[in-house]
Amino acid sequence: MKAIGIDLGTTNSVISRYDEGRSAATVLTNGEGEVLTPSVVAMRSRDGKESLLVGRTAVNYAGRQPQNTIVSVKRLMGRDYADPAVVEARDRLAYPIVAGPDEDPRAHVMLSDRRYRPAEVSGLILKKLKQDASRFVGDEVTHAVITVPAYFHDSQRAATRDAGHQAGLIVKKIIDEPTAAAIAFGMDAGQERRRILVYDLGGGTFDISILNMVKGTQGHGQFQVLDFHGDSWLGGDDFDLAIVERIVEWVKAECGVDPSGDRQFRYLAKAAAESAKRQLSQVQEADIIIPAAFRPDDGGPLVDVEMTLTRDEFNAMVRELVDRTMRLVKEALNRQSLERDDITDVLLVGGSTLTPLVYQTVESFFGAGKVRRDINPMECVALGAGLLAGTMQGVECPQCGKSNEDTAAVCESCDASLAGAQPLQAPVIYEVTGMALGIGAVKGTQRDIFVPIIPRGTPYPLAEPRRKSFNATDGRRIRVPVYEGDNPVASRNNEQGVIEFELPQDIGAASRVDVTFNYDSDRIVTVLISVPGTDMAKETTLRTDTRRTPPPDQEKEDDAATVREQLTYTISDAHRFLDSYGEFVQEHQTMKIRRDIDQAQHVLNFGDTPECRRMIALLRQDMYSSGIASQFLLAERAADGAPPQLARDINAAVASVQRSYRGGNTEQAAEQARLLKALVARVFVQRSVPGGDDLNRDGLLEVSEEYLPRYEG
């Protein structure tokens, strides 16, 4: 097995491998003899034939057809087309960013006439890196550790893993870039304990990680991630774009034309901006010269750009971006109740930290003596990944001590769980979740509540899964959107995927549902949906290609008069529900339904359409989450229109359950209720019940720590 470490960057990527003889990692050169491989893919058209270009050759060709050259694709990984960051990128980037096919919500890019997922484009970059590394080491590379920004969401990590598979790599681990940099630093850090802050400003992302580090007995060390923070849409690209806007303003002032909408011009301007930014790291001013940069639509003369940008001007342009990074640094320290003096070492990572304003600002805050500028900010992430790739030789069973494959879930010797098992020889890394993971649910009158199941700051892999209980409402088809974030409003967090399932017909529509999350060492979420006391269980990983869950105010607007009519009927139904089955409803639930009816009547008289729609949903939720009374309501709808004999059987079963409940014989009532559910299920399967479609809408999950108590007469 040949394994490498890969720093898959926004602008450039780097590969490294572990040299066992030297007990160190080394950076490898690519096929062009360079350490940095541009993260660029282009489609070249020549003599009617098309060919893909990756890396330096793609950069060299890009000026001819910027619309067929994909740059900064890392910024699009795992993002939806409707993501505000993607909306912004559509205006900034020269190539087309389009919606996915059918109901796939993810952003795609166009190369020539073909649509690609960003993971496919990154897969092409990784494939080149794999081939270059294989030529360098003289044997096929099969495995890799790939780095990602610490603040990448789980959907972005999943897209990165997918890209590795696209390249034909077995991904041993996805590791955070700051953690990889800390591992590289730890090779020479000595024996003492250190508390490290990693300031990682790359081409497209900004991360802060705070870690405790102790040098290990085997020389590789132990790393405990305390917290991470950042912005996955802040990096050197934004520095470049600030210069691009300055170039646009120069053209407007000097030539009287506006080139900002021309994709070719923007590509050429960005390339010039990158060059100027690098120059200004060394000198006080840079000349920006772009011959034949723009041809106006009115047929006017070609526009040449010849301007000078000083370091002071550049600093003024990007100061707010740098200040933003420091605000995030302070937030990260505050979240851990740390002062700047509690940090022993600050690591500057990423090419953008070579900008003088950046490192001077960090040194001013922490003190120049703590800022370790002796590590290579462009290579240290890859070096840490390479060290990890070369030293991960399996995991040790915590019960019997036997070695197992990295990917094993249970020990092959004793069948003990390997959750939380430590890797053999490799650096020991204790990681935590940077954001909470949970689902969108209903709570009281609020229909867009985020319910955390794995709280922020939870160490992973989990020793045991985390579970919460809910009540299914509104229908038999249940849709569970999974979110990552810390906002109490679910739709304001990042939707990581959706799980959809159908309640079997023998399970009541208002049944309790358990939602269980497991989180492994690669931050892959496995979700188990189950109904206690039944065989119903659905375990799955998240689907990221399904339609997203719109927040309530984004749902399709119905005609106002129709909605008011629906609310009138729903109020009447709720009154009749209490009149018919009120004795079987818990007292506190009865009071709630009556309050909701009063509120619905007020909304009907004075409220707007969204409030009417909310009250319709609330009253329906009341009627279908009231224990055995809800079963009677379902039975009533089933009997209406069922074949005569089946209708008589349903009515008889209802009468039997009611007699048993009134008589206090709860065990007999429970058995009879199971028979009633089976009879009702037969009708719904036949689809012959008036109003049955109303019971088959996408369902919701209502927050409930315990199942609704049984009726006690």
- Same structural domain, 312 and 438: no
- Same structural domain, 298 and 442: no
Tens digits of per-residue pLDDT, 552-598?
A: 654 444 567 788 888 898 999 999 999 999 998 888 889 989 999 99
Whole-angstrom Cα distance, residue 346 to residue 94? 36
- Same structural domain, 502 and 637: yes
Q: Is the pLDDT of residue 640 over 80?
A: no
**Which of the residue ranges 103-107, 158-162, 436-440, 519-523 would you say has the lowest mean pLDDT?**
519-523
Is the bond preceding residue 461 a cis peptide, omega within 30 degrees? yes
Tens digits of per-residue pLDDT, 400-455?
A: 777 777 666 677 778 777 765 666 666 788 888 888 999 988 776 567 889 999 99
Contact predicate 512/498, CB 8 Å: no
Burial class (CB in 10 A: 0-12, 13-18, 19+), 568: middle
Whole-angstrom Cα distance, residue 468 to residue 477? 19
> Within a domain: residue 481?
yes
Whole-angstrom Cα distance, residue 492 to residue 579? 40
* Residue 102: predicted pLDDT: 80
> Within a domain: residue 425?
no
- Same structural domain, 563 and 710: yes
Contact predicate 602/612, CB 8 Å: no
- Same structural domain, 493 and 639: yes
Q: Dihedral of the CA atoms 406, 410, 411, 415 (nearest 10)?
A: -170
> Within a domain: residue 647?
yes
User: Pick the residue with more confidence: 117 or 695?
Assistant: 117
> Within a domain: residue 445?
yes
Query: 71-98: string of b/e by CB count within 10 Å (b at 16+)?
Result: bbbbbbbbbbbebeebeebeeebbbebe
- SS3 (DSSP) at 224: strand
Across residues 671-688, what is the average pLDDT? 70
* Residue 709: predicted pLDDT: 31
Tokens, residue 663: 């008589």
Burial class (CB in 10 A: 0-12, 13-18, 19+), 511: buried
User: Domain with 627 in it: what CATH number?
Assistant: 2.60.34.10
Q: Kindly indicate the confidence band of residue 361, based on its pLDDT and cuts at 50, 70 and 90.
A: very high
* Residue 687: predicted pLDDT: 38
Burial class (CB in 10 A: 0-12, 13-18, 19+), 404: buried
Q: Dihedral of the CA atoms 670, 673, 678, 679 (nearest 10)?
A: 160
Tens digits of per-residue pLDDT, 505-563?
A: 777 666 788 999 998 877 788 899 888 878 888 888 776 776 777 666 544 445 677 88
Q: Is the pLDDT of residue 38 over 90?
A: yes
| Dihedrals phi, psi of 255, to nearest 5 degrees | -120, -10
Q: Kindly indicate the confidence band of residue 473, based on its pLDDT and cuts at 50, 70 and 90.
A: low
Q: Kindly indicate the confidence band of residue 340, based on its pLDDT and cuts at 50, 70 and 90.
A: very high
- Same structural domain, 453 and 578: yes
The single residue listed with the structure tokens 């912005």 is 231
Q: Is the pLDDT of residue 686 over 60?
A: no
Q: Give percent of the chain above pLDDT 70.
A: 88
* Residue 593: predicted pLDDT: 92
Mean pLDDT over each residue of the chain, to the nearest integer = 85
> Within a domain: residue 439?
yes
CA within 13 Å, CB half, 138: 0
Whole-angstrom Cα distance, residue 540 to residue 550? 22
Whole-angstrom Cα distance, residue 117 to residue 119? 5
Which of 303, 318, 333 is the last residue before a domain boundary?
318
Contact predicate 211/229, CB 8 Å: no
Whole-angstrom Cα distance, residue 307 to residue 282? 18
Q: Is the pLDDT of residue 678 over 90?
A: no
Across residues 299-320, what is the average pLDDT? 93
Q: Please provide the DSSP assignment of 249-304 as one string.
A: HHHHHHHS---TT-HHHHHHHHHHHHHHHHHHTTSSEEEEEEEEEE--TT--PPEE
pTM: 0.74
- Same structural domain, 450 and 583: yes
- Same structural domain, 309 and 440: no
Q: Dihedral of the CA atoms 470, 473, 478, 483 (nearest 10)?
A: -50
> Within a domain: residue 493?
yes
The DSSP element (H or E) to which 12 belongs, if any, is strand 12-19
Which of 318, 341, 360 is the last residue before a domain boundary?
318
Whole-angstrom Cα distance, residue 46 to residue 25? 41
- From the CB of residue 206, how many other CB atoms can be counted at a distance below 10 Å? 27
* Residue 232: predicted pLDDT: 78
**Which of the residue ranges 75-79, 157-161, 272-276, 403-407 would you say has the lowest mean pLDDT?**
403-407
- Same structural domain, 297 and 439: no
Give the type of residue at 627.
Answer: G
Tokens, residue 20: 């066992």
Whole-number CA gyration radius for the chain: 30
Whole-angstrom Cα distance, residue 314 to residue 106? 35
Taking Cα atoms as reference points, which of 143, 110, 111, 147 lies closest to residue 9?
A: 147
Range of the domain at 259: 236-318
Distances (CA, A) of 28 to 14, 544, 608: 8, 34, 65
Tens digits of per-residue pLDDT, 187-220?
A: 665 557 889 999 999 888 899 999 998 865 555 6
Q: Please provide the DSSP assignment of 631-696 as one string.
A: HHHHHHHHHTTS-HHHHHHHHHHHHHHHHHHHTT-HHHHHHHHHHHHHHHHHHHHHT-STTGGGGE
Query: 548-558: string of b/e by CB count within 10 Å (b at 16+)?
Result: bbeeeeeeeee
Query: Structurally, how many domains does the chain consist of?
Result: 2
Considering Cα of 228, then 232, then 233, then 236, what sign does the dihedral take?
Answer: positive
Tokens, residue 592: 């709630």
* Residue 675: predicted pLDDT: 83
Which of 293, 318, 343 is the last residue before a domain boundary?
318
Q: Is the pLDDT of residue 497 over 90?
A: no
> Within a domain: residue 277?
yes
User: Domain with 282 in it: what CATH number?
Assistant: 3.90.640.10
* Residue 557: predicted pLDDT: 45
> Within a domain: residue 385?
no
| Dihedrals phi, psi of 475, to nearest 5 degrees | 165, 175
Outline where DSSP puts E strands in 322-462. Answer: 345-349, 371-372, 392-396, 403-404, 423-425, 428-432, 436-443, 446-454, 459-460
- Same structural domain, 611 and 484: yes
* Residue 201: predicted pLDDT: 94
What's the residue count for the chain?
Answer: 713
* Residue 61: predicted pLDDT: 87
**Which of the residue ranges 53-67, 106-120, 305-319, 346-360 would you say has the lowest mean pLDDT?**
53-67
- Same structural domain, 304 and 437: no
* Residue 415: predicted pLDDT: 78
- Same structural domain, 682 and 555: yes
Residue 520 — left, alpha, or beta (φ > 0 → left; ψ -120 to 50 → alpha)?
beta
Q: Which residues contact 522 (CB under 8 A, 6 or more apart)?
A: 157, 161, 171, 173, 174
Tokens, residue 462: 């989990």
Whole-angstrom Cα distance, residue 560 to residue 318? 49
